[in-house]
Structure 1
Amino acid sequence: MMIFPVYIWLGSLRIHPHILFESLAYAIAFRLLIFRLRKDAIAPSQRSSVIVGGMIGALIGAKLLVGLEHINFILQNQQQFLLLLLQGKTVVGALLGGLIGVELTKKIIGIHQSTGDVFVYPLIVGTAIGRIGCFLTGLSDRTYGIATQLPWSIDFGDGILRHPTQLYEILFLGLLIIFLQFRSRYHYQNGDLFKFYLISYFSFRFLVDFIKPDFHPFWGLSAIQVACLLTIVYYRHTISQIFQFKT
């Protein structure tokens, strides 16, 4: 039986799993991004500006959406809400904020071509590694699922068997990489890879968040689900094009 959080020991040093795997996620994703930028057609100075714009947008988006996700704590426990706002973040908010930050930066410096494809694999790998830390952290990470009696349910420490939604996401991201590798045999337009990743991941998050014990004030949906749904609707005109294999 696992006891959460599952601390990682490096010699005599005990490291919290969230800190360890989040650090690994950033480091590995950044190294993978640098590797993929070797084939980038955009000038290094412009790419640096795009990355900085995306990082600023991601930080703002992650905090803004996590605040909306836990807005019910404003009336119940303002101190807990401020703590969640300070410490918490959400991948969906970071992706949306990063996307907006990149697009605003591109508009300012005059880039008209798509710049998102190089980020896809670093984002997938980084998210999957980060979710390992979320899983090993347990209840305090607030990424677990609702109660279930399925054979693979996990007791994160409160005596309730729950959906290990963190593991579901890792599995989904692994399958997504395999599919994208298969699809790379076909020709696609610049920017399609990022759009497909965004639509696929947001569709998964929209569905899996139904089995998370989140606050669902918006017609039975959480703030994250609303953000996912709006993004999918925004890109609806590209979905059919993305799924067409062009040889």
Structure 2
Amino acid sequence: MPVETHEIFTGLGLGVAAAVFAVETHRRGRHDPRLWYLVAGALTGGAVFARIGTWLQHLRLGDNAGLAQQWLYGNRSILSGLLGAYAGVLVAKRLCGYTEHSGDLFAPAVAAGMAVGRIGCLLTELPGTPTGGRWGITLTAEAAARIPGARVGVPLHPSFAYEIVFHLLALGALVLLRDRVTRPDALFTGYLAGYAIFRFGVEFVRGNQVVADGLTRPQWFLLCCAPLLAWRIWKLNGRVKVR
């Protein structure tokens, strides 16, 4: 599909996420207008980190693109975008003085938005590595010509379809648990932990470049972030109950 398809579904994903967030705030009776400052912080942090987060491609700093070139032409990463969105919410809370937990509002919104946004990736990016399964995606010569490294006539893992299914299942679980988990911030932490584990595994059939020890850059990024996520889970240990 044309590259613009990716941007269209990214926009749709953001719209769906905003709609789900609004529904959740209304359903929970949380009408504090400062919540929308948190949304602005998430969007700003996510946009900046998604683009800049892929800057460090090589250990030798001089081999990487300049920051201006990276911003204009660099790849985007959903993983660094999520980290930036999380940081953006924390900064926005400090600036506007909002002290309540907001993970229960963001978790289903992010899951729904990711499910929609990844449709654009499925239609425009390299599907994955070769697979012998019938469910594989076989690219035509015309389609493969638009995607660097793509192979023609070989069934490929639909890795983005796997991810869409994950986010839909996660959304269902979050809806079921949203009124049963006693700590609202635990919902978002659990979602991030589940996605990190899933993403690390699906990378093996994603088709991204292997850079060291059989792992891709997203996998190394996840390993670097693992201590922070583990610390967050440890902080919640023993404080979360499911009614």
TM-score, reference length from structure 1: 0.77
Decide whether aligned partners of structure 1 residues 242 and 123 sit closer, same or farther in structure 2, where only a CA change above 3 A counts. Answer: farther
Q: Would you say 1:246 and 2:242 are equivalent positions?
A: yes
Task: Please give the secondary structure, in 2, of the residue aligned with 1:235.
Answer: helix
* Correspondences of 1:50-65 after superposition (within 5 Å): 50-65=38-53
* Correspondences of 1:88-103 after superposition (within 5 Å): 88-103=75-90
Show the counterpart of 1:49: 37
Q: 2:107 aligns with which of 99, 117, 120?
A: 120
Show the counterpart of 2:6: 18
Q: Would you say 1:155 and 2:138 are equivalent positions?
A: yes
Q: Distance in 1 between matches of 2:20 and 2:42?
A: 17
Q: Distance in 2 between matches of 1:110 and 1:83?
A: 33
Contact 1:202-1:229 within 8 A present in 2 as well? no
Q: Distance in 1 between matches of 2:227 and 2:108?
A: 24
Decide whether aligned partners of structure 1 residues 212 and 168 sit closer, same or farther in structure 2, where only a CA change above 3 A counts. Answer: same
Q: Kindly state the Cα deviation for residue 245 of structure 1 after the two structures are TM-superposed.
A: 4.7
Q: Kindly state the Cα deviation for residue 212 of structure 1 after the two structures are TM-superposed.
A: 2.2
Report sequence identity in percent: 25
Decide whether aligned partners of structure 1 residues 193 and 69 sit closer, same or farther in structure 2, where only a CA change above 3 A counts. Answer: farther
Q: Distance in 2 between matches of 1:242 and 1:203?
A: 22
Residue identity in the other structure for 1:241: N
Show the counterpart of 1:11: none
Q: Deviations over 1:134-192 (max 9, x none)?
A: 1122xxx24x2111212211113331321110100011112212222333462321201
Q: Distance in 1 between matches of 2:136 and 2:63?
A: 32
Q: Kindly state the Cα deviation for residue 62 of structure 1 after the two structures are TM-superposed.
A: 0.3
Q: Distance in 1 between matches of 2:228 and 2:167?
A: 22
Task: Please give the secondary structure, in 2, of the residue aligned with 1:225.
Answer: helix
Q: Distance in 2 between matches of 1:92 and 1:100?
A: 13
Single out whichever of 49-58 and 229-238 deviates more from structure 2.
229-238
Q: Deviations over 1:110-157 (max 9, x none)?
A: 3333222211112111111111121122xxx24x21112122111133
Decide whether aligned partners of structure 1 residues 62 and 70 sit closer, same or farther in structure 2, where only a CA change above 3 A counts. Answer: farther
Residue identity in the other structure for 2:138: D
Residue identity in the other structure for 1:23: G
TM-score, reference length from structure 2: 0.78
Cα RMSD after superposing both structures: 3.2
Contact 1:135-1:166 within 8 A present in 2 as well? yes
Matched pairs, number: 227
Show the counterpart of 1:190: 184
Decide whether aligned partners of structure 1 residues 182 and 51 sit closer, same or farther in structure 2, where only a CA change above 3 A counts. Answer: closer
**Which runs of 5 or more structure 1 residues have no equivalent in the other structure?**
8-14
Decide whether aligned partners of structure 1 residues 20 and 54 sit closer, same or farther in structure 2, where only a CA change above 3 A counts. Answer: closer
Show the counterpart of 1:67: 55
Q: Deviations over 1:20-71 (max 9, x none)?
A: 3223222222222222222354731x22322222211101110122333689
Contact 2:45-2:87 within 8 A present in 1 as well? yes
Single out whichever of 53-62 and 15-24 deviates more from structure 2.
15-24
**Which runs of 5 or more structure 2 residues have no equivalent in the other structure?**
141-150
Residue identity in the other structure for 1:246: V
Q: Distance in 1 between matches of 2:215 and 2:11?
A: 31
